[in-house]
Each structure stands twice: as C-alpha cells, then as structure tokens.
Amino acid sequence: MRTASLIALALLLAACGGSGKHAGATTETTAGGCVKVSQPKLGKRSAPKPTARLDPTKVYDVRFTTNCGAFTIRLAVKTAPKTAASFASLVRHGFFDATVFHRIVPGFVIQGGDPTASGLGGPGYTVVEAPPTATRYTLGVAAMAKAGDQPRGASGSQFFVVTAADAQLGPDYALLGHVVSGLAVVERIGRLGDPSTERPTEVVEIEKATLDVH
C-alpha cells in the first residue's frame, strides 16, 4: 500500500534550527516542536526544462529551510545527472519556496515538491532517468516520486526523503541524493503525519530552498 500511494502521487526556536524568516520575531511552537505557521498560498506552478547538465567535478547541495528546521540534500550529480540538473534548476527558479510537505508517513517517507499539495502537481515537464538496479532507499536517501503509468525513473518536481531504516522499495524512483546535514530535522518532520491518511498533522512549510555549489 505504501508503494502504491507513493506512486500516485523547537520546543524552542533554536531547537528547530530556526530560520531567518522567524528570527527575532515572537513565535509560537507546535506540539511537534516546529514554529507554527499558516498554510502558504498553494497553486499550479511551472518552470522551464533545463537543457544543461551540472559540472560533475563540483558538489551541489540543496538546503531546505522549513518551519521545523533546516536540512541539506547533496545531489547525486554523477549517478543521476539529469535528475540532479532538473532539481537544481527548479531550486534556482524558486519552485519549492513556500510549498509544503503534503505527504508524511511516519517510519517511511516525507514527500514534498508539489506546489498544489494535491499529489498531482509538477513543473510541467518530465525527466526520465532510471536508477541503478542495486539502488536501495534507506534512511536519508532522497528520490523522486512518480505516477503509476510513468516509466522507471520518471520525475517532475515531487520528491521524498526516506525516514525508515529501509523503505523496501524497488528501484523504480529516480535517485536524487542523500541528506548530509539536518537528518534530525527530517526525522522530526517524519513524525508529523497521520499513518491512516498519510497527511501531515501540522503545516510543514518549505520556506526556501537554496543551492550551494562548491
């Protein structure tokens, strides 16, 4: 059931790794230990499909600043060059800013990247890059979600981060990268879901995604 669903679609501020958006302001924390925020304005978005690849000699890190803290994903530039280039381009266009994690399954994954939060949104284009057959989706691995009628490795903008020791998924989802910092934040977010509906129990906003190249 988990696989099918995936296909279809601080107590203190410092403890949350608080972002600049809330710094210096009077804030209220939620039961989950995040800064309480209102649902951002959601709706369809689009972005141009990139035509250039990233430099494989460089490291590309995407930092997600959320109301629950920040975490960073290092893109799999060498293993998944097309997927990495697409994701980096979306970040540069601000595609993920003011969106939410619309699907949270405790002990499995957190999923975001849909500007409509419906599970059906995307950037208006698709990239296909099948992952290596030996790919395993273990704790901290980030990959791209896809629809059931799409081929292996198809992706738009929706991504997930694994919060299980091993999600036990087949090698169908394009590899995005892995979490290199802020895993505790990812795990915090991963507890904020209803197992029966796979919907978040609190608003978890991606306030901003930024790309660091080094």
Q: What predicted TM-score, i.e. pTM, was given to this entire model?
A: 0.88
Over residues 45-53, the mean pLDDT reads 95
For 86, the domain range is: 2-213
Over residues 205-213, the mean pLDDT reads 98
Structure tokens at 106: 């405790």
Confidence of residue 27 (pLDDT cuts 50, 70, 90): confident
pLDDT at residue 148 in the model: 86
Looking at the predicted structure, is the pLDDT value of residue 20 above 60? Answer: no
For 105-133, what is each residue's pLDDT tens digit? 999 999 999 999 999 999 999 999 999 99
Structure tokens at 180: 């290199």
Contact 182, 17 (CB under 8 A): yes
**Which residue in the block uniquely carries the two structure tokens 């960073």?**
72
* Residue 109 host element (H or E): strand 109-112
Q: What is the CATH number of the domain that holds 135?
A: 2.40.100.10
**What is the C-alpha separation between 178 and 137, in angstroms, rounded?**
10
pLDDT at residue 15 in the model: 38
Structure tokens at 90: 């979306």
pLDDT at residue 17 in the model: 40
For 151-204, what is each residue's pLDDT tens digit? 999 999 999 999 999 999 999 999 999 999 999 999 999 999 999 999 999 999
- The tally of domains found in the chain comes to 1
Residues 6+ apart with CB under 8 A from 153: 83, 128, 129, 130, 131, 144, 146, 172, 173, 174
Angle at 99 between CA 98 and CA 101, to 5 degrees: 140
